[in-house]
Amino acid sequence: DGGITQSPKYLFRKEGQNVTLSCEQNLNHDAMYWYRQDPGQGLRLIYYSQIVNDFQKGDIAEGYSVSREKKESFPLTVTSAQKNPTAFYLCASSFGVNYGYTFGSGTRLTVV
Amino acid sequence: DAKTTQPTSMDCAEGRAANLPCNHSTISGNEYVYWYRQIHSQGPQYIIHGLKNNETNEMASLIITEDRKSSTLILPHATLRDTAVYYCIVRVAGSNTGNQFYFGTGTSLTVIP
């Protein structure tokens, strides 16, 4: 079955460490996105990519980095520069303009 | 970008229709209205979208007013599994920021047994 997979589901990180969240899709979607969600709040866009080897900053890109070397994969690295990284991270993909999103099940990151 | 306004929370009795309103008074002609829902600690799920005409699928109906300044998502027979946060989104089309969806805080729907 086609879908979008995020791993791991839960992740713990010590302060000062970088951590990478995985996002893989087999939907043949061109565009991929990373969102962050804090308790009781909506989703905020971190980064997005419309095609391979290209990506753009969203509203809250500081402290995060991404790569898009393959169409299927869009990993997100939470760097030590991110001051408040504890959150629920959601990855999504779409065919692009005029199409809706398919979301993954999310990764809950906790800094300990 | 058009903004949307939704009530913070709503209750609905199980088996009854749930009508979730959304105001989008600044919507422009080429912007679609999308609805997603998010069950606790899961990724949002697409429900339905529309431009001008009313739309219906196996999950819900979308009623858009003639002036397109508001819409209503209708879950015809709400079940306990429909308890979720519902997001009404107006999609930014053709901007240089890509095909983004702006998710606000949505409406928290609680279906009561």
Q: What mean pLDDT comes out for the span A59-77?
A: 96
Residue B41: its pLDDT value, please? 85
The pLDDT of residue B89 is above 60? yes
Contact A48 B98 (CB under 8 A): yes
- Tens digits of per-residue pLDDT, B36-82? 999 988 999 999 999 998 999 999 999 999 999 999 999 999 999 99
Report the amino acid identity of residue B16.
Answer: R
- List of chain A residues whose C-beta atoms are within 8 Å of the C-beta of residue B104: 42
How does DSSP assign chain B, residue by residue?
Answer: ----B--SEEEEETTSPEEEEEE-TT--TTPPEEEEEE-TTS--EEEEEESSS-EE-SS-EEEE-TTSSEEEEEETT--GGG-EEEEEEEPP-S-TT-S-------EEEEEE-
Euclidean distance between CA atoms B94 and A52, whole angstroms:
20
Euclidean distance between CA atoms B80 and A101, whole angstroms:
25
Least CA distance to B30: which residue of chain A?
Answer: A98
